[in-house]
A and B are shown apart, each in its own frame.
Chain A
Amino acid sequence: MDYAIQQILNALSFGAEYALIALGLAIVFSIMGLVNFAHGEVIAFGGYSMVIIGTVLTGNPFILMGAVLIACVLVSVLLERVAFRTVRKADLTTGLLTAFGVSIILQNAFLLLGSPRPIPATQFIFLDRTVLVGSIQVSSLQIYETVATALAIVALMIFLRRSTLGLAMRAAALDFEMVRLCGLRANRVIATAFAVSGLLAGLACIFIMARRGAVSPHMGFDPVLTAFVACVIGGFGSLPGAVLGGFLLGAVEVGVLVLLPQSYGSLAHAAVFALVALILVWRPDGILSPAKEKGDKI
């Protein structure tokens, strides 16, 4: 019983991390059709900012958390401005390759200016303690992660339903030109999307840093690759799909680890990707893909 609850919590916290990152990808994709693979480097940038601010200014973890969030938002918006604006109207492949290019540039910039080896930054480690809930030993970080993700999703939903910009972001996923015809500036809507995406990346960064306690140039790549799979499973561009896909992947990964013998642990990744390939062949638009508009004049 204890074991089962621990594993469920494991799956939830894995899933929460994937869902956070997947949401960040899906928000940008739904609005401008860009698969933003540089999202992982936004997370890594958050980590490096933490290292710098942590050594130069203050070690206070709560100030650092704020700094990580701000850094991720800023760099995300900046990337849109300098790299993705030029390919805004281009096709998917062009955008995808550009994003990969940006991702490589940032990874190597971290390598060049930082170090190929992990740099320790342990200020958030305190989040990860073993606590007793009833008679069960659980990790406090996993609880924080699950709760924070749930809160972030609720906040995002409120933002998307109540604020004009939120409405505009949902509307833009369908018909960007019509949103402009309602008087909203395209740049503003897209910048907001990148800002929200960066905020979610910052949140994910805090939890990743709490778990790893160190930054390295490639730390964002693998989580984003998995989150990308989550988006695909949920239907690219669908926000509920991204959340669902994220938690599903968390469950699959923990399931593979629990059900298969220990020696197969390294194949968890392969299992996840095999799953996504099968789902794509079965339903090319994903499980929860948004309804497509048929291009009729009427």
Chain B
Amino acid sequence: MLEISNLRVTHGPIEAVHGIDISVPAGTCVALLGANGAGKTSTLSAITGTAKSTGTIRLEGEDISALPVEARVKRGIALSPEGRRVFYNLSVRENLVMGAAIRKDKAAIAEEVDHWFTRFPILGERRDQPAGTLSGGEQQMLAIARALMSRPRILLLDEPSLGLAPQIVERIFEMIRELRSQGVTILLVEQNATAAIGLSDHVYVLNNGLVSSQGRAADYGNGAELMDQITGVHG
């Protein structure tokens, strides 16, 4: 589905990612793990087109690395960004409609919005309230739902657990697990290595802008070792 080769990402004069290869096969969940500043978010920004990069990014064989942000979304890339970035001043329903901005099928969109409201009743209850009034966890669900409203081929999730209470994190991961079982292709960026490994088929570990190790998720055990490596905490 998504093939990245020799990707270098720059922010102004600074190069954050120094040439990495990542492959996300269709229907799988791939985790991109690493410490703060390892280049995870930069990699996602390069895939969505919001950061400058060199190298090739192929989506189902088509090179999309020269396309602008919007065109990549139309080709099937959707991002649930770090920090959620729901539109605070828009209602919950309007946020979901914005997610489907590239689609024309009004009826199907309305149906899907309703689907999310039954799937997450808390969002349904607050459908006409500004999204800014939601709690962090609810905003995260909304951000993921918004990303899915464009019916993407691949879903990019950037730190969905960041800053959330443990029970809420569990619910978010539950949601991701469910998506995976429905066959959604996912590239998951996380610092919570243990949880991410449990969800994924394949794991890449980023370190200072390079892939320091990769392999089948099962090979990383419960991820405790990796967690130590990423966080620097030795338990």
Query: Which residues of A are interface residues toward B (Cβ below 8 A)?
Result: 161, 164, 167-168, 170-171, 173-175, 177-186, 290-291, 293, 296-298
Taking A291-B132, A298-B162 as contacts, is the C-beta distance between A184 and B88 under 8 angstroms? no
Asked whether, in the complex, the Cβ of B81 is within 8 Å of the Cβ of A178, the reply is yes
Query: Which residues of B are interface residues toward A (Cβ below 8 A)?
Result: 48, 50, 68-70, 73-74, 78-79, 81-83, 85, 87-90, 94, 97-99, 101-102, 132, 136, 146, 150, 162-163
| B residues near A293, Cβ cutoff 8 Å | 88
Q: How far is the CB of A24 from the nearest CB of chain B, in Å? A: 20
Q: Which residue of A lies closest to B156 (CB)?
A: A181
| B residues near A298, Cβ cutoff 8 Å | 83, 136, 162-163
Q: Which residue of A lies closest to B84 (CB)?
A: A298
| B residues near A177, Cβ cutoff 8 Å | 50, 69
Asked whether, in the complex, the Cβ of B70 is within 8 Å of the Cβ of A180, the reply is yes
Q: Which of A161, A174, A183 contacts B70 (CB 8 A)?
A: A183
Nearest 4 A/B pairs, CB to CB: A183-B73, A298-B163, A183-B102, A171-B87
Asked whether, in the complex, the Cβ of A297 is within 8 Å of the Cβ of B83, the reply is yes
Asked whether, in the complex, the Cβ of A175 is within 8 Å of the Cβ of B87, the reply is yes
Q: Which of A175, A185, A291 contacts B85 (CB 8 A)?
A: A175
Taking A167-B94, A291-B132, A297-B83 as contacts, is the C-beta distance between A183 and B89 under 8 angstroms? no
| B residues near A186, Cβ cutoff 8 Å | 70
Q: How far is the CB of B76 from the nearest CB of chain A, in Å? A: 10
Asked whether, in the complex, the Cβ of A179 is within 8 Å of the Cβ of B88, the reply is no
Taking A171-B87, A298-B162 as contacts, is the C-beta distance between A183 and B101 under 8 angstroms? yes
Q: How far is the CB of A175 from the nearest CB of chain B, in Å? A: 6
The interface residues of chain A, by DSSP majority, are classed as helix
The answer for the CA separation of A180 and B73 in the assembled complex, in Å, is 8
Q: How far is the CB of B190 from the nearest CB of chain A, in Å? A: 15
Asked whether, in the complex, the Cβ of A182 is within 8 Å of the Cβ of B73, the reply is yes
Write 7 A-B pairs (CB below 8 A) sorted by A numbering. A171-B98, A181-B48, A181-B69, A183-B73, A184-B101, A186-B70, A290-B89
Q: With contacts A167-B94, A182-B146, A183-B70 known, what are 5 further pairs, Cβ within 8 A?
A: A182-B101, A183-B73, A290-B89, A297-B163, A298-B163
The answer for the CA separation of A178 and B82 in the assembled complex, in Å, is 11
The answer for the CA separation of A33 and B101 in the assembled complex, in Å, is 23
The answer for the CA separation of A293 and B83 in the assembled complex, in Å, is 12
Q: Which of A164, A171, A182, A291 contacts B150 (CB 8 A)?
A: A182
Q: Which of B70, B90, B150 contacts A185 (CB 8 A)?
A: B70
Taking A171-B90, A185-B70 as contacts, is the C-beta distance between A178 and B85 under 8 angstroms? yes
Q: How far is the CB of B105 from the nearest CB of chain A, in Å? A: 12
The answer for the CA separation of A134 and B83 in the assembled complex, in Å, is 60
Q: Which of A168, A173, A178, A296 contacts B89 (CB 8 A)?
A: A173
| A residues near B73, Cβ cutoff 8 Å | 180-183
Q: Which of A161, A170, A183, A291 contacts B87 (CB 8 A)?
A: A170
| B residues near A167, Cβ cutoff 8 Å | 90, 94, 97-98, 101
Q: Which residue of B lies closest to A185 (CB)?
A: B70
Asked whether, in the complex, the Cβ of B69 is within 8 Å of the Cβ of A180, the reply is yes
The answer for the CA separation of A171 and B8 in the assembled complex, in Å, is 31
Asked whether, in the complex, the Cβ of B150 is within 8 Å of the Cβ of A183, the reply is yes
The answer for the CA separation of A184 and B98 in the assembled complex, in Å, is 9
| A residues near B97, Cβ cutoff 8 Å | 164, 167
Q: How far is the CB of A185 from the nearest CB of chain B, in Å? A: 5
Asked whether, in the complex, the Cβ of B81 is within 8 Å of the Cβ of A181, the reply is yes
Q: Which residue of B lies closest to A163 (CB)?
A: B97
The answer for the CA separation of A164 and B106 in the assembled complex, in Å, is 11
> By CB atoms of chain A within 10 A, which of B79, B98, B132 has the most?
B98
| A residues near B79, Cβ cutoff 8 Å | 181
Q: Which of B69, B89, B99, B101 contacts A170 (CB 8 A)?
A: B89
Q: How far is the CB of B79 from the nearest CB of chain A, in Å? A: 5
